[in-house]
Structure 1
């Protein structure tokens, strides 16, 4: 039974990423330890491209640690601010890191007779199982809540935004290896975790997957593996090279998804999304995936890796989102921090 005080009991649900946004949230990069061997300026170049790709279609909210940082980033984004004055908003909220998908709040909506009401879930965050410092990251969600003045729910468990993907119509994708990992919430069963997802995301069904990429320090975030692109269609990362370390796991993932059905019993359409091959930095394989794209109002931000499959994937996603501009974001530097475009963004629904 749903908790009567939970979001679902009050009519809330987490919308799909392609539903209209009021804005996108970012945490400006500042921690050199996140991208070892790369200057922060290299990372900022990718961030600037992300902001440029979004501001014509929605507001962009940027967390910075203090006023000095705000002024510096404002100078960095002078061209974008000139292009869309009033569409970039700075918030003086310090963070340990930049992966706001995981430590930021996830927004939920409920329909009213005259429109939509927005609220937030502020999940706990412990840096993917206490792998890195996290206290400021964990505090940032409540500070965003204070800045916006939105109703905020506190589920009381650790959950990262990259660990879930929803179609806005009752189904959530996730992985056992992440959500059931004892480093997050101690011993927890599928049934217990499903009840949290149903209560706080408004889903009726959870599809549990069992996969992960080589080099992924999140224990298998689903936003690097499989993503909804419509209520009944999923794109799934598939490695085509049988000699690749990711081949067997991703082939099984694709097969498992082909057997998945929605709450109505109908099978989902599953479209393979090629992989970019091994992306190596300083001898270490990185968790590079095209599935880590971000769907904005006007643009779809596509991570690219200087690989021949960059264009193949662009064409696949253009067919799936014909009304959107598919904007390539070079991610060889970003993924050196073990994340990508989707990990660095968080949508706020309209």
Structure 2
């Protein structure tokens, strides 16, 4: 079993979920579509990047996607919502599409189509599919390409995913099914994250044994979480690369929401970083430009996508070259 390639390895294409259900997005539907198209356009990079496949759930959404994004391929596959990082297949180093159980992030959002969208996307690409009988979402793990993977205890050991799942069992499954031979366990994820602490909002590998972790901003509700993650990573022997945190990001109802610059996407030509207008945007772009000198760093607002619960990394799933 060969572990999945790191995200900075070459991609053949990327699936990106396209907002399709007005009843889920309400007044955010049209602006969220604008943000998704801007993200897709940046990743495509006028043909210098990778093929973009916008996945729409309805004919109306597909027609809208084609009109707004003529540079992209558009496919229609029924799904509940756009979070393809979690519902799409995880493609291993040998090209096998791994499909895991999915239960709506611990039973919170049970939407038709989400449980088998990964299988349909993989078959549509003609990929060999391996089915696994435990629950994990793609946003819960991140690998560095050497067999090392990072995750959080809050998510992967949560009884709302796999009952009676302990670290030894999780590590064995990650090894047997995905080829990871070392696991860096972080603690909790971001405050009020309905995914129960997905690591792709907290810490991301940016090179072999190099993990980017936010450094707390003033009045940052996640400052203890960042400190704990940094301490655990350093104790494990991983190099920690500090990046800015957007700090306190609030909903229109003044509730703390899990806005994070860490939900970036590493494409063939660009790194796309979500921005929230909190005053750290320029510093975040500069930090990632230093981390990825071989790629253009593009910062884009993701406020309306975030109303649905995620950002650019959450709505995308790369197809390795």
TM bracket (short chain): over 0.9
> What residue is the counterpart of 2:78 in the other structure?
94
Return the offset for 1:203: 1.2
User: Could you tell me whether the CA contact under 8 Å between 2:28 and 2:304 is conserved in 1?
Assistant: no
TM-score (norm 1): 0.87
- Listed as ranges, the matches of 1:128-277 within 5 Å are 128-241=105-218, 243-260=219-236, 267-277=237-247
> What residue is the counterpart of 2:297 in the other structure?
326
Distance 1:207 1:334 in 2: 29
Matched, 1:103 2:87: yes
> What residue is the counterpart of 2:65 in the other structure?
73
SS of equivalent to 1:284: coil
Q: Higher Cα Rg: structure 1 or 2?
A: 1
Matched, 1:46 2:35: yes
Structure 2 unaligned blocks of 5 or more = none
Superposed CA offset, 1:7-43 (max 9, x none): x1xxx3211000000011112102345446x331100
User: Could you tell me whether the CA contact under 8 Å between 1:254 and 1:272 is conserved in 2?
Assistant: no
Superposed CA offset, 1:250-301 (max 9, x none): 11211111111xxxxxx22101222112111122211011111110000101
Aligned pair count reads 317
User: Could you tell me whether the CA contact under 8 Å between 1:125 and 1:134 is conserved in 2?
Assistant: no
> What residue is the counterpart of 2:10 in the other structure?
20
User: Could you tell me whether the CA contact under 8 Å between 2:185 and 2:232 is conserved in 1?
Assistant: no
Superposed CA offset, 1:84-123 (max 9, x none): xxxx22222111001000111011123xxxxxxx220011
The root-mean-square deviation of aligned C-alpha atoms, in Å, is 1.4
Moved more, 194-203 or 19-28: 194-203
> What residue is the counterpart of 1:114 in the other structure?
none
Distance 1:33 1:169 in 2: 42
Structure 1 unaligned blocks of 5 or more = 1-7, 82-87, 111-117, 261-266
Distance 1:33 1:239 in 2: 35
> What residue is the counterpart of 1:284 in the other structure?
255
TM-score (norm 2): 0.95
